[in-house]
Amino acid sequence: MLIKSLCIPKSKLTTVSETVTLQEAIDILEKSGFRCVPILDESGTIFRGNIYKMHIYRHKANGGDMNLPVTHLLKNATKFISINASFFKVFFSIKELPYISVLDDDNRFYGILTHSSLLNMLQQSWNVNTGSYVLTIASTGHKGDLANMAKIISRYCSISSCITLDVEHDELVRRTMITLESGVTKDTVKQLTSSLSKKGFRVVEVEDLKNVG
């Protein structure tokens, strides 16, 4: 399971019980250094929501009672995904959150999936560390375009990864980012770029992965 391999399990996390006070919660947050942590029920198995450092300090600055239960400032109670959720649902769910909570098959809190984990996974899928160049290719999005692009490029080298963008737009231009295998030279890139152009595909950007970072 993809999500299970990417998320941080509960055993490695800092969490707070729904029974602690706001003062106890801020003490835990300050000690851990995190800006927010999950709130679990007394059994430590059910996800209740998240508590944010900024919300507690705002409450305190306004003269709020710090002996209130942490659930008084609970946020993101419905922001969680199943450990078997599709990869695409993760992107729709996490949005502006620092992380998304993950529940197991019995709806018990399993852990969290962070933005950094997703970014690291995308980096691996793009083969940034092992590829040579990334070509951004503009096409009409017609049936067979991707297959034709791949056929042209495969005459010169292997394709390490491929991602198509703008597929949800009504525009007539689609962008496809193709990572070429390691060892490809600039001359080879020029040759395959010319071949793509002759078949109606425009290479709008060529990025040298050796210069990334």
- CATH of residue 63's domain is 3.10.580.10
Which tokens go with 120?
């690291």
Per DSSP, 12 falls in state G
Between CA 4 and CA 87 the distance in angstroms is 11
- Same domain as 43, residue 28: yes
Which of 73, 100, 120 is the endpoint of a domain? 120
140 closest CA partner among 176, 177, 174: 174
Pairing of the two strands 16-17 and 36-40: parallel
Q: For the chain, what percent of residues have pLDDT higher than 90?
A: 67
Give residue-wise pLDDT tens across range 59-112. 999 999 999 999 999 999 999 999 988 777 787 788 788 899 999 999 999 999
Per-residue DSSP letters for 88-123?
Answer: HHHHHHHTTSSEEEEE-TTS-EEEEEEHHHHHHHHH
What pLDDT does residue 11 have? 95
- Same domain as 100, residue 9: yes
- Same domain as 140, residue 106: no
Between CA 183 and CA 185 the distance in angstroms is 6
Which of 100, 120, 140 is the endpoint of a domain? 120
Which of 93, 120, 147 is the endpoint of a domain? 120
Least confident piece of the model among 30-44, 45-59, 91-105, 193-207: 91-105
Q: What CATH number has the domain bearing residue 170?
A: 3.30.70.260
- 183 lies in which domain range? 127-211
Give residue-wise pLDDT tens across range 110-147. 999 998 887 777 766 666 667 889 899 998 878 899 99
Between CA 3 and CA 104 the distance in angstroms is 11
Domain count, the chain: 2
Between CA 9 and CA 12 the distance in angstroms is 6
Q: For the chain, what percent of residues have pLDDT higher than 70?
A: 91
